[in-house]
Structure 1
């Protein structure tokens, strides 16, 4: 097949993916803004936000991973032209994400004492706890928003969630300036101010997307409130069957990165702060991969509904090629600007030196990180989630974490060794998931040919 058969789809892929990228970057930007502003207070404060966000980020990954189940089901029902089925999936999914948000908040409060037993510097733990408590509560509005977001993504109407996250970031920036530093009539709350800004911005995000969708005629059939008689156990089970393994995939990956934060924390506040800087920068480019991954999920979900498996495979590989090109560009940028980028967060030269070395490794794993994210999106479009969950567990915890620990602690290579372990994990994941998609898509084509 000619290269143009794949590159011709770039425009369609990017049209769908760009609002998702912007929305995902918006989610990340809330935390990034916190880190940049708090970083000006000092490396200990930056390390405290890193520690406070570590457990929250695990819960967030579980919740968001679970919500991803809504998108392929909506995409499939949309391709089938079944609005009633789509409405029920959306309403059931929104109920589940709301319940998930409340459950995540309760769980985070319950495990709060864990922060004191992670071998972290005492001054970091003291500052992290109040920040952690407020950001944990913001899980509730964030998960409600995710229910709306994954629904609109499934309909390929990705711009509304983007608008909501842009608005939320404007609110967050203004509140952060006022509450972290104590501008005008507002008190100087430092880390607590950053947490309050995050909470209020996420509440505003929910109100925004609800109001917008309620006023659009195209969503009228979906926004009609569900009746008690319409609640079906089978729909809950279908969403959970897809959502739970997807949540595990996110947990395995994010859990490894959180483990890297904690391992770095045992080396001191400066190492942890540098680790946080490198993670934030790598996470920013990863959001591009998330956007293209959602495009893969939606477009492959549509082709699955149409049972057009040859076209499904072509579209999937066009997304794989697209993310490879994009992440290769980011890889070069990380390596060229490794000594400049850390200055965005801090003026501490020791932290900058450590972060600069980590960005070399981050540059290398841009390719594998991007590819594994987009292939996972393609597999979600096929509603294949159980085997990918097992593969990600092997990649991150059977292969990756032992390498992180051995190089970082046993061989005393520090954060640099930890990041070599991350590179190993992401590369293993990308290779195994790509083989899985290749096998499944070929199998579907073969089975259809045999039937005809």
Structure 2
């Protein structure tokens, strides 16, 4: 047997060993991450009866929230990696200090993001978005911007629970936000007992309230629960440590902002086709956002597993951990691709009764379906590299793939070649393919046996 065969057999054996633990961590992370996007799905379902223009307004907001969520998640996700590294090294004091200062960084970052989103509202008019949509958008837009503050704090606590192998606790708090949001959304949008409700604004108030209550519950658990005592050991709030966390997290944030920003601009391009196209994109986007939680959750899980292995100086496990995540997410996303192809039109029809919206959304679902596997691969590879604290080169890869390939490709297929709204996502898929290929190469190169 050749050395290559021995190496391959060893890798396959390693993947089989790592796969159960990877799945044990990834599944609850995915469920927990889905909570924020499920709130968007609830908004879509409950706003849809108000008409095409309110649904389009929710779509514009969702496109921008993708950018904000992406940047904040990327920045805060480094904290779970740092906690996992300290846990692997059995350093309780470092874990506690990381949590306390990470919470400070998360809340400050959320407030900055909320301010930027509200201040940036006039740019939508400059970007040529439909005036009937903009005329009713600002109150809802502002509430959803403020939601970024509790979202950031809750993301920090979910990262803590994931890093200490208690991911279902994060799921419980995240899903509590969804459970609160559903009845509150209905009440605030449509009213009850003769009160007419607040329409689109009501959806924003409900989302902000549900996220804030979930954050409050998670905070109380951290401060009061006996099993959290290790993670609240006396430590000072240090702006120098926050700056260090920021310096390690900002390349990750830039990568997610690069992808989220390209996604947002692609959504703005779709707005050039009118309110019906925006509404269709909201239907597709609300579902694809939930689907994306599978690769995003896997990225978080593989980052934590690799960081913990590095903290314990178990470098030989890194490649097997990474490939166990990549192969799993390929299988998941292949199943999702088939489901979108078969049921895309039915999903669209269940979320809108406008025939034009349904037709556009059905075509866009087909396009989005074939992006799923490469999207999963690039997200998982980036998570693996993040766990190795390799962030700067992957950031450059992401920026090139999404801004140098995806956006020009979206314009080419959407407008120049006349494919319309589905063409926007064809171009975006090309960017995902470039990112996935380059990140796989990077991970293989860095984990090659010495």
TM (normalized to structure 1)? 0.94
Q: C-alpha distance in 1, partners of 2:32/2:339?
A: 22
> More deviation in 213-222 or 166-175?
213-222
Q: 1:339 to 1:232 in 2, by over 3 A?
A: closer
Asked whether 1:407 is paired with 2:416, we answer no
Of 174, 177, 182, the residue aligned with 1:168 is: 177
Secondary structure of 1:239 counterpart: helix
Query: Quick one: distance in 2 between partners of 1:194 and 1:163?
Result: 22
1:158 Cα deviation after fit: 1.3
Q: Deviations over 1:229-278 (max 9, x none)?
A: xx262x23331122101110111111111111110111011111112222
Q: Which residue of 2 aligns with 1:34?
A: 43
Deviation at 1:287, TM superposition (A): 0.5
Q: 1:50 matched to which residue of 2?
A: 59
Match for 1:221 among 218, 222, 230? 230
Provide the secondary structure at the position in 1 that maps to 2:370.
Answer: helix
- Residues 84 and 163 of structure 2 are in contact (CA less than 8 Å); yes or no, is this contact kept in structure 1? yes
Partner of 2:400: 394
Return 148-157 or 127-136, whichever deviates more. Answer: 148-157
Q: Higher mean Cα deviation, 243-252 or 86-95?
A: 86-95
Number of the residue aligned with 1:77: 86
For structure 2, the residue ranges without an aligned partner over 5 or more in a row are: 1-7
Structure 2 residue 431 is the aligned partner of structure 1 residue 422: no
1:86 alignment counterpart? 95
Distance 1:165 1:344, change over 3 A: farther
- 8 Å Cα contact 1:64-1:146 kept in structure 2: yes
1:56/1:132 contact within 8 Å kept = no
Alpha-carbon separation, structure 2, partners of 1:279 and 1:54: 8
Does residue 321 in structure 1 map to residue 330 in structure 2? no
Q: Give the direction of change, closer, same or farther, for the CA distance of 1:103–1:225 in structure 2 (3 Å limit).
A: farther
Conserved? CA contact 1:323–1:371, under 8 Å: yes
Contact kept, 8 Å, 1:271 with 1:415, in 2: the verdict is yes
Residue 391 of structure 2 corresponds to residue 385 of structure 1: yes
The answer for the alignment partner of 1:198 in structure 2 is: 207
Aligned partners of 1:316 and 1:378 also within 8 Å: yes
1:431 and 2:440 are equivalent in the alignment:
no
2:3 counterpart residue number: none
Native 8 Å contact 1:51 1:125 kept in 2: no
The answer to whether structure 1 residue 180 and structure 2 residue 186 are counterparts is no
Q: Which secondary structure does the structure 1 equivalent of 2:74 belong to?
A: helix
Shift of 1:101: 1.3
Q: 1:107, 1:51 → 2: CA distance?
A: 16
**Distance (whole Å) between structure 2 residues aligned to residue 57 and residue 319 of structure 1:** 24
Distance 1:316 1:402, change over 3 A: same
Report the counterpart of residue 279 of structure 1 in structure 2. 285
| Match among 217, 227, 241 for residue 208 of structure 1 | 217
Q: Which residue of 2 aligns with 1:304?
A: 310
Aligned residues: 441
**Aligned pair partner of 2:108 in 99, 103, 113:** 99
- Give the equivalent residue in structure 1 for 2:162: 153
What residue number does 2:4 align with?
A: none
Name the CA distance, whole Å, in 1 between partners of 2:326 and 2:205: 39
- Structure 2 partner of 1:356: 362
Conserved 8 A contact 2:87-2:95: yes
Q: Deviations along 1:187-218, whole A, 9 cap, x unmatched?
A: 42111010000000011111111222333323
1:120 is aligned, of 119, 123, 129, to: 129
Query: Which ranges in structure 1 are unaligned for 5 or more consecutive residues?
Result: 447-452
Give the whole-Å Cα distance in 1 for the aligned partners of 2:239 and 2:105: 12
* Shift of residue 185, structure 1, vs aligned partner: 6.0
Q: Which residue of 2 aligns with 1:450?
A: none
Tell me if structure 2 keeps the 8 A contact 1:400–1:422.
Answer: yes
CA contact (8 A) 2:271 2:277 kept: yes
8 Å contact 1:391–1:433 — kept in the other structure?
Answer: yes
Which of 342, 347, 361 aligns to 2:348? It is: 342
When structure 1 is superposed on structure 2, of 124-133 and 139-148 the one drifting more is: 139-148
- Provide closer, same or farther for how the CA distance between residues 272 and 380 of structure 1 changes in structure 2, counting only shifts above 3 A: same
Relative to the length of structure 2, the TM-score reads 0.94
Aligned-partner Cα distance in 1 for 2:56–2:228? 43
2:375 equivalent to 1:373? no
Q: Is the 8 A contact 2:381 2:439 kept in 1?
A: yes
Does the CA contact (< 8 Å) of 2:19 and 2:321 recur in 1?
A: no
